[in-house]
Structure 1
C-alpha cells in the first residue's frame, strides 16, 4: 500500500494537473511537476473536484451574503470554478463540439480539435453549457437559498470521476495530446474514483433532503457517458483529452439539471 508521502504527492500532482491553484512544493515530493499517473492516483480526481467545487461555493456564498441576486451569485460561483481550473474542461467541450460536428472525416475532426480557435459549434456549445449551469444553480438558490452551495463539491467531484468512463470503453484517438501522454486509470481505479465522488455527492444530497434527486442525478450522469463514448467512437474512433473534458461538462450539467428538477418537485426548504 502506498505511503502517506506517495498519496500526498499524488494528490498534489492531480491538483496541479486539474487546477491553477498556486500550490507549494514540499520536500517529500520526488517529482513535483510530473504528470500524474492516474492508474494509481485516480482517487485524487474527485477530491480535487471537491476542492474546486468548495471554492465555487465560497464565492457564491459571499455573493449571496453581500445581497446579490441568486442569478449573480450562481454566475460568480461558476466563474470561480472556471478561473481555478483555467477553463480546462470548458475548452475540451468547445473543441469537442467543433471537431465532432464540424468535420467531414476522422482526420479533419481531429485536426479541428487541435486548433486553438473556437468555431461556431464550439461557441454555441460553450454558451449553452454555461447558461444551463448558471440557470440550474440559480434555480437551486431560489428553492434552497445559500444551502444549495453545499451541492457544488459533490457535483464537481462526481462529474470529474464519471467523465473518465470513455477511457474504459475506447482506445485513444491518436498518439499525441494530453490524454495520450498521461497514464489513464483502469476499471478498479475508475470505480474507486467514482465511488469517492458518489459518496461526496450523496452526503450533500442527504443533508439537503434530496436522496432521490441525488440518486437520479448520479444515475443520469453515469448513463450519458456510454452515449458520448459511442459518439466519439463513430466520429473520431476513440477518446482524447477534449472528449474527456466535454464529458465532464455534460455530466455536471446533468447533475445540476436533475437536482434542480428534484428540488422543484420537493418544493422550497
Structure 2
C-alpha cells in the first residue's frame, strides 16, 4: 500500500511539473498537496531530461543529415525550446527586466512585476536574450557538431536544477504567489537531491566522452546561480515566480555562451 501511494504521488507530482514547466496539453486535474508538491519539485530535473533529450535527438538528426543550413537548425531548436515551455520563463524574464530597469524602489518593482502588460525594457531584453542565444547556439553546432547533442541535453537539465536550488535556498520577495506556495512543499533534503542529479549529469558527460564540458557547465551554472541569488535579493528582496523564470532563461543563455567559449578557446 505504501509503495502504491508513493508511486501515485510521483505520477501526480510529475504531472504537476509538466503542467507548470511545459506547454504540453495535459488536461488532467492533479491534486496539490504536501506529497504531490514535494514530488513535483523533485521532477523539475526530469522535465529538463525530457526537453534535453528531444533537443539532442533533433540536433543529432539535423546535423548528421547535412542538408539543412546550420542557421536554420539553430533557429528551429531555439524556437522548439520556447514552444515546449510555452514562453512561461520568458514572461518572467520580461517582467524582471521591466521591474529592474524602472529604477524604482523594491515595493514598486514588485508591483510592476504583477502588471500583466509588457514594457519596452521587457521586449528589448527578450530580443537580446534570444538573439544572443541563437548566435551562440549556431557557433557551437558549427564548431563541434559532435559535442552539440550533449550540450543540448545538459543545459535544460542544469537550468531546471538551478530553478529548484533557488526555490529551496533563496529568500522570498513576498509571502504569496506561486513561489511561496511551492516553498511550503520544499524541504532541505531537496538541495542535496538536486546536487546528486547534477553529479549524475557529470557522470553522463564522462560516459559521453565530454567530461570537460560537463564539469565546466556545472561550475558555470553554480556561479550564475550564486550571482543571481545575490542579485534577486538586492534588487527585489528575494525570489518569486518571475525571478525563477528569469533565472531559467538566464542560465540557458549563459551556458550556451560558456559552451561557445570552451569550444572556441579551450577545446578548439
| TM-score normalised per structure 1 | 0.85
Local SS of the residue matching 1:175: coil
Aligned length: 261
* Displacement of 1:4: 2.4
Does structure 1 retain, via aligned residues, the 8 Å contact 2:166–2:244?
A: yes
Structure 1: 5+ residue stretches without partners: 26-30
1:192 aligns to what? 193
Distance in 2 (alpha carbons) for counterparts of 1:201 and 1:15: 24
Structure 1 pair 199/260, CA: closer, same or farther in 2 (3 Å)? Answer: farther
Structure 1 pair 237/48, CA: closer, same or farther in 2 (3 Å)? Answer: same
Structure 2: 5+ residue stretches without partners: none
Structure 1 pair 78/40, CA: closer, same or farther in 2 (3 Å)? Answer: same
Q: Verify: 1:8 aligned to 2:11, yes or no.
A: yes
* Deviates most, 9-18 or 84-93: 9-18
Distance in 2 (alpha carbons) for counterparts of 1:79 and 1:52: 13
Structure 1 pair 166/88, CA: closer, same or farther in 2 (3 Å)? Answer: same
1:137-156 to 2 correspondence within 5 Å?
137-145=137-145, 148-156=148-156
Aligned-residue CA RMSD (Å): 2.5
Distance in 2 (alpha carbons) for counterparts of 1:91 and 1:158: 20
1:28 aligns to what? none
* Displacement of 1:208: 5.0
| TM-score normalised per structure 2 | 0.85
Q: Verify: 1:43 aligned to 2:42, yes or no.
A: yes
* Displacement of 1:100: 1.9
1:1-269 to 2 correspondence within 5 Å?
3-23=6-26, 25=28, 32=30, 34=32, 37-61=36-60, 63-64=62-63, 65=65, 67-145=67-145, 148-182=148-182, 183-200=184-201, 202-203=203-204, 205-264=205-264, 265-267=266-268
